[in-house]
Amino acid sequence: MTNKILIVEDDLSLQNLIKSHFLNKSLEVVCCENGKEAIEAIEINKFQFILTDWKMKVMDGMEFLLKARRLSPCSVIIMMTSHSTVEAAVEAINNGADSFISKPFKMIDLEDLINKIIIKKERSLGLAEEVNNKYSYGIIAKSKLMSQLIQFIDRIQNVRSSVLITGESGTGKEVVARAIHAGKKTKSRPFVAINCAAMPEHLLESELFGHVKGSFTGADKNKKGLFLEADGGILFLDEIGDMPLSLQGKLLRVLQEKEVRPVGANKSIRIDTRVICATHQNLQNKMDTGEFREDLFFRLNVIPVHIPALRERQDDIGLLANYFLQKYSKLNDRYFTHISESGINYLSCLHWRGNVRELENYIERAVILSEGPIIEMEDFLLFQNSIERIPPQSIQKNLFQGNPKLEELEKDYILKIYTEVNECKDECAEILGISKRTLYRKLERYQLGIEE
Q: Could you give the CA distance from residue 203 to residue 362 in angstroms, rounded to a whole number?
A: 35
pTM of structure:
0.64
Q: Which DSSP state fits 395?
A: S
pLDDT reported for residue 451: 44
Q: Could you give the CA distance from residue 63 to residue 91 in angstroms, rounded to a whole number?
A: 11
Give yes or no for a contact between 128 and 119, defined as CB atoms under 8 angstroms apart.
Answer: no
Query: Omega before 73 cis (within 30°)?
Result: no
Q: For each of the domains in the chain, give its residue range(s) and CATH number, in order of start.
A: 4-105 (3.40.50.2300), 144-310 (3.40.50.300), 312-445 (1.10.8.60)
Give yes or no for a contact between 442 and 414, defined as CB atoms under 8 angstroms apart.
Answer: yes
User: Strand locations in 332-451, DSSP E?
Assistant: 338-339, 374-375
pLDDT reported for residue 124: 57
Q: Which residues contact 220 (CB under 8 A, 6 or more apart)?
A: 213
Start-end of H helices in 80-136: 86-94, 107-130
Give yes or no for a contact between 72 and 50, defined as CB atoms under 8 angstroms apart.
Answer: yes
| Alpha carbon distances (Å) from 309 to 173, 283, 353, 354 | 11, 18, 8, 9
Half-sphere exposure of 365 (CA within 13 A, CB side): 12
pLDDT reported for residue 402: 53
pLDDT reported for residue 214: 73
Strands of 191-195's sheet, edge to edge?
191-195, 234-238, 274-279, 163-166, 303-306
Residue-wise pLDDT tens digits, 122-174: 665 555 556 556 677 889 888 999 999 999 999 999 999 999 999 999 999 99
pLDDT reported for residue 134: 65
Q: Which residues of the chain have pLDDT under 50?
A: 1, 385-401, 450-452
Q: Which residues contact 107 (CB under 8 A, 6 or more apart)?
A: 17, 18, 21
Give yes or no for a contact between 370 and 379, defined as CB atoms under 8 angstroms apart.
Answer: yes
Q: Which residues contact 147 (CB under 8 A, 6 or more apart)?
A: 141
Q: Could you give the CA distance from residue 106 to residue 110 in angstroms, rounded to a whole number?
A: 7
Q: Could you give the CA distance from residue 363 to residue 380 in angstroms, rounded to a whole number?
A: 9
